[in-house]
């Protein structure tokens, strides 16, 4: 069973400016909970690229699973199973739409219950913060 979280947010910045913020792994500390990007290999990001970030005193390895125009999907292993996150930017009439999607794939009943009751709502709150920060950064470009 997969536990999914999705968020859509719109901003006035053109999609190119929004993608310049969210599509560049080096900029993760500017709009996510990542404190520092330690390593990206190889660059530019392609399928299989490893992105290592420092977050909350720990190191987390993300692996790129999809790269397309204005779409980046990454996966990591958590203590309760895999977590996949996708970032997409699409053109809107007045600017751009930022889409953040996450999928937990917990193994076992207890992990599924925790994912539904704790992890997914926490990820939704993070997506709210991240989207607002990313859209503010994109708007500041102009």
Residue ranges of the domains in the chain?
3-29+65-140
Tell me the pLDDT tens digit for each residue of 109-125: 999 999 999 999 999 99
Tell me the pLDDT tens digit for each residue of 23-75: 999 999 999 999 999 999 999 999 999 999 999 999 999 999 999 999 999 99
Q: What is the mean pLDDT of the chain?
A: 96
Give the Cα separation of 60 and 38 in Å (integer). Answer: 10
Give the Cα separation of 117 and 128 in Å (integer). Answer: 18
Architecture of 3-29+65-140 per CATH?
2-Layer Sandwich (3.30)
Q: How confident is the model at residue 137 (pLDDT cuts 50, 70, 90)?
A: very high
Q: pTM here? A: 0.94
Q: Spell out a b/e string for 70-94, using b for 16 or more CB atoms within 10 Å of the CB, else e.
A: bebbbbeeeebbebbbbbbbeeeee
């Amino acid at each position: 069973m997969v536990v999914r979280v999705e968020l859509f947010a719109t901003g006035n910045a053109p999609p190119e400016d929004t993608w310049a913020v969210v599509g560049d792994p080096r900029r993760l500390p500017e709009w996510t909970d990542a404190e520092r990007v330690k390593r990206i290999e190889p660059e530019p990001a392609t399928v299989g690229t490893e992105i290592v970030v420092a977050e909350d005193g720990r190191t987390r390895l993300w692996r790129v699973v999809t790269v397309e125009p204005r779409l980046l999907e990454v996966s990591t292993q958590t203590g309760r199973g895999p977590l996949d996150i996708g970032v997409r930017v699409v053109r809107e009439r007045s600017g751009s739409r930022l889409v953040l999607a996450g999928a937990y794939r917990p193994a076992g009943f207890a992990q599924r219950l925790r994912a539904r009751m704790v992890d997914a709502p926490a990820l939704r709150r993070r997506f709210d913060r991240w989207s607002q920060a990313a859209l503010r950064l994109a708007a500041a470009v102009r």
